Each structure stands twice: as C-alpha cells, then as structure tokens.
Amino acid sequence: MEQCKMDRISELTRISRERELTQEETCERKALREEYLSEWRLGAKQTLDSVYIIDEKGKKRKLTK
C-alpha cells in the first residue's frame, strides 16, 4: 500500500478523535482499511507459504493449514 494512503488512514483516525467523521470520510476510511488489510493478508499468506517445519527426525516439510 502506498505511504500516502496509509497516512490518510492515520489522518482520518486522528480526525475521528476530534470530531464526528462525515459520511464520505467514513466510507473512505473503511475502503482504505479494507485495502490495507487485504494487502496485509496477502503478504502474511505469502510468508507462511514459504515456511518449512523440521520435525524431530530432521525431515523438512511444508507448513500446512
């Protein structure tokens, strides 16, 4: 996710602590959060897909779900 989008999420969160967000701001924040979480989940999945476990016998196997 681009840094400017992450900064916008933070800005909207800061604003929400000061006052009520408008409908447009609430929708924008929700969409940005969903995009961020989607990218985070993809990165986490890619990381876990490359993880291998070494068992007691020294045998290397892929991490399963």
Residue 2: DSSP 8-state? -
Q: pTM to 2 decimals?
A: 0.76
CA–CA separation, 2 vs 14, rounded Å? 19
Task: Specify the CATH number of the domain 3-62.
Answer: 1.10.287
54 φ/ψ angles, rounded to the nearest 5 degrees: -105, 115
User: What are the tens digits of pLDDT across the range 15-60?
Assistant: 999 999 999 999 999 999 999 999 999 999 999 999 999 989 999 9
Phi-psi group of 58: left, alpha or beta (phi > 0 → left; psi -120 to 50 → alpha; rest → beta): left
pLDDT for 35 equals 97
